[in-house]
Amino acid sequence: MTQVIMPAVSSPQDDLQTVVETRTREWHFHIYFLLQSPAETAAALALRDAVLRLRRDGAFVAVPLHRVNKEPIGPHPAGSYEIWVPDSSFSDVFFYLATNRGALSILVHPLTSQQRRDHESRNAWLGTPWPIYLDGLPRESSEVPLQYPQLRLGWSSAAEHEISLDERRKRGAKVEALLANDVEAAPAPPI
């Protein structure tokens, strides 16, 4: 008989201050393509050019790294390139890539001080997941690797743009009040 050992189930974090202070503010989208396929390589590069045009035109903030990997590099097993996205543009970029990726696979992960965990267990895939090589990634670093601080977005955003905890509570209470009589909306548990 085979014994199945289930991992311990932990309670989700629900402390407002902790959730706000530990949220991810920057993301990476890694677009993968088969180097042996000229059509797939062309599709990946066309998607990159479209993202650059849309950034220029103000659709969202997304910064493809200048380098396109024409060989496996780091944890990535194929041709790839990275697109950096601040949290303020995450939804727009995610939806754009999800609806315009064609058959390409895209690794999505947060950008934190725990690179290995970001790639290993905090990731998501658009399309078919690829195996990635994690051994070369550091488990922990002392700081979040800042990218494009001149944009003052993501981890580099100005404190005056932050929503206070009190304002978040007021917004939450307003949403609860608006949904109070909606039988389809689950109410928040009592305090």
Is CATH 3.40.50.2000 correct for 23-158?
A: no
For strand 63-64 and strand 105-110, is the pairing parallel, antiparallel, or unpaired?
A: unpaired
User: How far is the C-alpha of 109 from the C-alpha of 112, rounded, in Å?
Assistant: 9
User: How far is the C-alpha of 55 from the C-alpha of 83, rounded, in Å?
Assistant: 11
Question: For position 124, what pLDDT does the model report?
Answer: 96
In 18-170, the DSSP E strands lie at: 26-33, 63-64, 79-86, 105-110, 124-126
pLDDT in tens, 143-191: 887 889 999 998 888 777 788 899 999 999 999 999 999 999 998 888 8
pLDDT in tens, 46-61: 999 999 999 999 999 9
Give the closest residue to 34 by CA, choosing from 1, 71, 64: 71
